């Protein structure tokens, strides 16, 4: 098994120059329509299956980076994190991969433009912005494929946040993961809308990393997941190519529910749903029965992400007045 440090050495391969004064980058958040659930390599975050996501335009993370002489400082949304907090440690361990000498420390200023408190921010946009800012600071001039591989070492889903629009994360087969990265699909869907529905802003019960591991280790249903994910990936690509909204929505919803089924069938069970999550699902199914074309997806938490098209926004808002509506294709740089 290879280590992260070996992969970084292989990619950087002596690239770069004297560090610039700083680095700055933005990366969008992404929401998977076909989920990443299960790793074949925990060190390198290599997935069991391919996944497919849509990036959230201007919603994501900005990261400002500079060098410091004495110790790392990590600020998230203007607040300095305690050095021993889990997030600061995770960033510090990732930055260890890129320090040129023992006396090189970083100041990291990360700001989320997606509501953090509402539980929508994830590590994906953060690590994607961080590697892009590192590229600027050190002048590596890496391409998106290489940056995607580095971002994956921080967090799997981060490899999809290097691009806008629809992104496929190729699972790859190589043990070193050099063929496992995010790639943009050549397709746009300007009328597509995502609605962020806050069920609760409370901290989630369990991080997705241990939940994924427990599912693989204890869930008998997980055996069927690779086949389900492969079939859904093909259907989603067809839906995107043909702009078939019902196929897109139904496939994404079914894929999310199948992922949650594997969590629920793990032991001890992993259940992210709150009673309000199920009530929201039932409201969506009732809306569909009333000819409002709206579907949902869910990740490792209680909140729902609604999928609909621009022409149906008023009808969807009629059911969910507090929805935060995102236009994924509006903010293309
Ligand atoms: C996804 N999730 O495809 C799936 C659906 C959660 C549910 O990617 O351990 O934070 O850093 O590789 O990327 C969350 O997992 O996990 C995730 P690591 P990550 O969006």
Of ligand 1's listed atoms, the one at least distance from the Cα of 45 is: 12
pLDDT band at residue 1 using 50, 70 and 90 as cut-offs = confident
Mean pLDDT over 125-138 rounds to 98
pLDDT of res. 121: 76
314 CA to centre of ligand 1 in angstroms: 31
160 CA to centre of ligand 1 in angstroms: 10
pLDDT band at residue 120 using 50, 70 and 90 as cut-offs = confident
The three-state (H, E, C) secondary structure of the chain, written as one string: CCCHHHHHHHHHCCCCCCCCCCEEEEEEEEEEEECCCCEEECCCCEECCCEEEEEEEEEEEEEEEEEECCCCEEEECCEECCCCCHHHHHHHHHHHCCCCCCCCEEEEEEEECCCCCCCCCCHHHHHHHHHHHHHHHHCCCCCHHHHHHHHHHHCHHHHHCCCCCEEEECCCCCCCCCCCCEEECCCCCCCEEEEEECCCCCCCCCCHHHHHHHHHHHCHHHHHHHHHHHHHHHHHHHHHHHCCHHHHHHHHHHHHHHHHHHHHCCCCCCCCCCHHHHHHHHHHHHHHHCCCCCEEEECCCCCEEEEEEHHHHHHHHHHCCCCEEECCCCCCC
Q: Identify the CA nearest to 36 among candidates 235, 170, 193, 151.
A: 170
pLDDT band at residue 115 using 50, 70 and 90 as cut-offs = confident
Residue 247 pLDDT > 90: yes
pLDDT band at residue 284 using 50, 70 and 90 as cut-offs = very high
Residue carrying the six token digits 């039932």:
282
pLDDT band at residue 331 using 50, 70 and 90 as cut-offs = low
Residue 119 pLDDT > 80: no
pTM over 0.75: yes
pLDDT of res. 209: 95
- Sheet bearing 324-326, strands edge to edge: 295-298, 304-309, 192-197, 324-326
pLDDT band at residue 203 using 50, 70 and 90 as cut-offs = low
pLDDT band at residue 8 using 50, 70 and 90 as cut-offs = very high
pLDDT band at residue 98 using 50, 70 and 90 as cut-offs = very high
Residue 27 pLDDT > 80: yes
Mean pLDDT over 138-152 rounds to 98
Mean pLDDT over 125-134 rounds to 98
Q: Please tell me the residue having the least CA distance from ligand 1 atom 8.
A: 157
pLDDT of res. 6: 98
Residues 209 and 26: their CA atoms lie apart, in Å, by: 24
Mean pLDDT over 61-90 rounds to 96
Average confidence score pLDDT of the chain: 96
**Ligand 1 shell residues, CB under 6 Å:** 32, 35-37, 45, 51, 122-123, 155-157, 208-209, 299-300
Residue 195's alpha-carbon distances to 26, 123, 160, 252, 283, in angstroms, are: 22, 20, 20, 14, 14
Residue 333 pLDDT > 70: no
Mean pLDDT over 210-227 rounds to 98
Q: Please tell me the residue having the least CA distance from ligand 1 atom 10.
A: 155
């Amino acid at each position: 098994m290879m280590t992260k440090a070996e992969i970084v050495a292989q990619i950087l391969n002596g690239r770069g120059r004297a560090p610039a004064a700083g680095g700055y980058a933005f990366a969008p958040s992404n929401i998977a329509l076909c989920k990443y659930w299960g790793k074949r390599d925990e060190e390198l975050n290599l997935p069991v299956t391919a996944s497919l996501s849509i990036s959230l335009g201007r919603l994501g993370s900005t990261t400002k980076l500079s060098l410091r002489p004495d110790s790392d400082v990590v600020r998230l949304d203007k607040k300095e994190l305690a050095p021993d907090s889990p997030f600061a440690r995770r960033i510090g361990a990732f930055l260890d991969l890129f320090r040129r000498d023992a006396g090189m420390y970083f100041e990291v200023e990360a700001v989320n433009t997606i509501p953090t408190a509402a539980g929508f921010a994830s590590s994906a946009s953060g690590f994607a912005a961080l590697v892009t800012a590192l590229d600027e600071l050190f002048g590596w001039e890496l391409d998106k494929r290489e940056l995607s591989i580095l971002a994956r070492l921080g967090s799997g889903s981060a490899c999809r946040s290097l691009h806008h629009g629809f992104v496929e994360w190729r699972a790859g087969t190589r043990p070193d993961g050099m063929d496992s990265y995010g790639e943009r699909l050549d397709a746009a869907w300007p009328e597509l809308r995502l609605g962020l529905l806050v069920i609760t802003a409370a901290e989630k019960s369990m991080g997705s990393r241990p939940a994924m591991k427990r599912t693989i280790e204890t869930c008998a249903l997980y055996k069927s997941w690779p086949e389900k994910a492969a079939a859904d990936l093909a259907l989603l690509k067809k839906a995107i190519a043909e702009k078939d909204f019902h196929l897109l929505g139904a496939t994404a919803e079914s894929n999310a529910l199948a992922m949650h089924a594997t969590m629920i069938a793990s032991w001890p069970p992993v259940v992210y749903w709150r009673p309000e999550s199920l009530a929201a699902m039932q409201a969506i199914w009732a809306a569909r029965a009333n000819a409002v074309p709206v579907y949902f997806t869910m990740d490792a938490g209680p909140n729902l992400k609604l999928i609909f098209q621009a022409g149906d926004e008023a009808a969807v808002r009629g059911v969910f007045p507090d929805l935060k509506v995102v236009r994924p294709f509006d903010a293309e740089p």
